[in-house]
Amino acid sequence: MEVKSEIFREYDYSSVSITNGNVISKYRFNMPTIERDEKPLEYDNENDLVVQRKRNEIIEIEHKKSSKLSEVGLQLWRGAFLLNDFILSTQHLFNDKIVLELGSGVGITSIVASIVAKKVLCTDINIAGILDLIKRNLKLNSHYQRTKNNIEVHELDFFAEKWSDQLELAIKDVDICLAADVIYENDITNGLIKSILKLFNKSKKLKEMYMALEKRYVFTDKVLAPMYECFIRMFSQQTAGILKISECPTDFPQYFEYDRCKELVLFRITKI
Ligand SMILES: C[S@@+](CC[C@H](N)C(=O)[O-])C[C@H]1O[C@@H](n2cnc3c(N)ncnc32)[C@H](O)[C@@H]1O
């Protein structure tokens, strides 16, 4: 079954086809002032403080415009944009931190995190060329990285018996975890929760995780959001006494072009 992300129906991202059958689209955003602890204040010739104004910026992303359900990471989903806005709105949380993103898809959220964070570990399952696609997208947007090569791409499969030694080593220093739109299939949700538990266990520095998702409703005789409800149920069963989850307000500024619909939810996960 072929699926298509809603975002491509709502906005024109000036997509251009390329030879491998993918498209390259332009995701416009207003860059807010970037807070850098170590950056000295700048003064002009008249000795007035130079204030950074909002700038119109573009992240260019190679992706598919539709895919099989098993390859949805080759498209972009609304949760990624909610998380992008959250990162740019709460830079103090990410400034100088080591960030790990789960199920990164095409890599847009890791690219946004790399504007602010010290280092980003961008991860996904290695199927359908996702990791190579991420690497191409990092190259297209390398000018946004806070420091040269501050993003690493790693395979992280929720179901793998063992993660690579390189990833295991890097995980030890992770401060914040991110994930967008990774709740869409019960088995994957189960694997995701087990991976979240593993990450909190392996990194002593990991204090919080932010997870965006879109509640997708099913209308029968009742109105249900089955994937969301299943996630909440499984999460409370599997992490009882270890982790807690709460919904965050989503009234922070919108920097990217997408529909900030009321079904978009942002969770904060912390240790008990
Ligand atoms: C709907 S996409 C979301 C992609 C991106 N975060 C976004 O919001 O645009 C779901 C992501 O979960 C990833 N995923 C699925 N199964 C996985 C697994 N077993 N381990 C790790 N990631 C997985 C997919 O490859 C995909 O990137």
Our count of domains for the chain comes to: 1
End-to-end CA distance of the chain: 41
Could you tell me if residue 125 is inside a domain? yes
Q: How far does the centroid of ligand 1 lie from the alpha carbon of residue 92, in Å? A: 27
Return the CATH number at 208.
3.40.50.150
Nearest alpha carbon to residue 79 among 269, 268, 264, 267: 264
What confidence score (pLDDT) does residue 252 get?
95
Could you tell me if residue 140 is inside a domain? yes
Could you tell me if residue 169 is inside a domain? yes
Cα separation, 67 vs 3, in Å, equals: 6
Could you tell me if residue 10 is inside a domain? no
Q: How far does the centroid of ligand 1 lie from the alpha carbon of residue 129, in Å? A: 13
Cα separation, 188 vs 40, in Å, equals: 45
Could you tell me if residue 32 is inside a domain? no
Cα separation, 82 vs 268, in Å, equals: 13
What confidence score (pLDDT) does residue 157 get?
98
Token pair listed for 230 = 């299943």
In this structure, are residues 202 and 168 in contact, taking their beta carbons and an 8 Å threshold? yes
Cα separation, 242 vs 178, in Å, equals: 18
Could you tell me if residue 14 is inside a domain? no
Q: Which residues of the chain have a pLDDT value below 50?
A: none
- Other Cβ atoms within 10 Å of 21 Cβ, number: 8
Q: How far does the centroid of ligand 1 lie from the alpha carbon of residue 154, in Å? A: 13
Question: Helices (DSSP H) in the chain: which residue ranges?
Answer: 7-10, 78-89, 91-94, 108-116, 130-140, 165-171, 186-202, 226-239
**Domain interval for residue 83:** 73-271
Nearest C-alpha to atom 26 of ligand 1 is from which residue? 73
Could you tell me if residue 27 is inside a domain? no
Q: What residues flank ligand 1, with Cβ below 6 Å?
A: 72-73, 76-77, 79-80, 103-105, 124-125, 130, 156-159, 180-182, 184, 188, 191
DSSP 79: H
What confidence score (pLDDT) does residue 219 get?
77
